[in-house]
């Protein structure tokens, strides 16, 4: 195989020209033709002449094979990755709750009582001080509320980072854990552009709407969080799907809102109320059978608010 011998000879010549073993990591041009080097999956080669300058022969994957998730989990010998959703980032161990030995056999009464005491002390040592207990409770609340609202895991992790910052900067005294965890989750959803209102969050939280808004404003002000104002357009697709309106009605609702935002109607107005009014106004323009009562029940916005915002949007439509 002449091509193989030629390639081997070129590799040998290249290795002889290298000043030391660490030079390859800093090398940017080919030793043969001064061409540009490109890094592939397991080797560094020249784009011009194809010279392989360096190659990685180490397989960093597992030595076993798995054909489904269950087999992969059974064969894996490592734990889950670290996460900010746990107070200790998932680095601590936990004693299994089952009273069995390594072979699946039942433990004796004496050993069972011993492991119960060990579990108790293990739980105490994992939350060794008030800060850990505070964080454990708050992160549990964030996870619970996020699951209830269908919030992505990435947003929940952002909320946990925000809460950790508040805890480090000593913003918790005088505030409830539930209130600050709710505020952290709402701030994370706002940063991620997830269309959820404070009213929706208050339904799954252990605090009321007033405390949630106060805690949120306090958190954003003290941490100087970069949070954009709520956009009514973000709520249109979700409520349009719930109301089962046509694509034409949804499009008209977006146009009405865009016109209203340009005119500044949205300033100081609840974004959900504007989205609900836009959908109702669009249904009137497209001759779709949609009543204020149905829109109010679906969006949890009063009919009075819908009528007021509806008139404002239609006036702008007529003027335009």
Q: List alpha helices for the chain, DSSP H.
A: 2-17, 23-26, 69-75, 109-126, 130-149, 153-168, 177-192, 198-204, 209-223, 236-243, 247-263, 271-285, 292-299, 303-319
Q: What is the DSSP string of 34-47?
A: -PBEEE-SSEEEET
Question: What are the sequence ranges of the domains in the chain?
Answer: 2-55, 130-223, 232-319
pTM of the model: 0.67
Instruction: Give the DSSP H/E element, type plus range, for residue 55.
Output: strand 52-55
Same fold, 130-223 and 232-319: yes
- Angle 155-156-159 from CA coordinates, rounded to 5°: 90
The superfamily CATH assigns to domain 130-223 is: Cyclin-like (1.10.472.10)
DSSP state of 53: E
Q: Is 108 exposed, middle or buried (0-12, 13-18, 19+ CB in 10 A)?
A: exposed
Residue 156, annotated ligand binder?
no
**Cβ(46)–Cβ(33) below 8 Å:** yes
- In this structure, whether the domain defined by 232-319 belongs to CATH 1.10.472.10 is answered with yes
Q: Encoding tokens for residue 30?
A: 């080919």
pLDDT 10s digits, 299-318:
889 999 999 888 888 887 76
DSSP state of 231: P
Residue 49, annotated ligand binder?
yes
pLDDT 10s digits, 43-94:
888 888 888 888 766 667 777 888 888 888 777 777 677 788 887 777 777 7
pLDDT 10s digits, 240-264:
999 999 999 999 999 999 988 888 8
Closest CA to 132 of 185, 92, 191, 175: 92
Check whether 41 has a pLDDT greater than 50. yes
């Amino acid at each position: 195989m002449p091509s193989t011998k030629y390639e081997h000879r070129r590799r040998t010549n290249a290795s002889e020209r290298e000043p030391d073993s660490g030079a390859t990591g800093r090398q940017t041009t080919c030793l043969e033709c001064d061409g540009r080097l490109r890094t592939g999956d397991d080797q560094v080669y020249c784009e011009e002449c194809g010279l392989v300058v360096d190659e990685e022969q180490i397989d960093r994957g597992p030595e076993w094979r798995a054909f489904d998730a269950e087999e992969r989990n059974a064969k894996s010998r490592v734990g889950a990755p670290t996460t900010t959703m746990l107070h200790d980032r998932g680095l601590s161990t936990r004693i299994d709750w089952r009273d069995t030995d390594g072979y699946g056999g039942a433990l004796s009464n004496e050993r069972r009582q011993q492991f119960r005491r060990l579990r108790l002390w293990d739980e105490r040592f994992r939350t060794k001080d008030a800060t850990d207990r505070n964080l454990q409770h708050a992160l549990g609340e964030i996870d619970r509320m996020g699951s209830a609202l269908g919030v992505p895991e990435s947003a929940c992790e952002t909320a946990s980072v925000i809460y950790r910052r508040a805890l480090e900067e000593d913003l918790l005294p005088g505030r409830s854990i539930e209130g600050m965890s709710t505020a952290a989750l709402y701030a994370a959803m706002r940063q991620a552009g997830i269309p959820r209102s404070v009213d929706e969050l208050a339904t799954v939280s252990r605090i009321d709407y007033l405390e949630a808004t106060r805690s949120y404003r306090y958190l954003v002000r003290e941490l100087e969080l970069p949070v954009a104002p709520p956009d009514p357009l973000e709520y249109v697709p979700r409520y349009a799907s719930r109301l089962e309106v046509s694509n034409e009605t949804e499009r008209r609702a977006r146009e009405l809102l865009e016109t209203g935002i340009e005119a500044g109607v949205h300033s100081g107005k609840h974004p959900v109320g504007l989205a609900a009014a836009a959908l109702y106004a669009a249904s009137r323009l497209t001759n779709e059978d949609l009543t204020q009562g149905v829109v109010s029940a679906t969006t949890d916005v009063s009919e009075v608010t819908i009528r007021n915002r509806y008139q404002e949007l239609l006036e702008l439509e007529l003027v335009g």
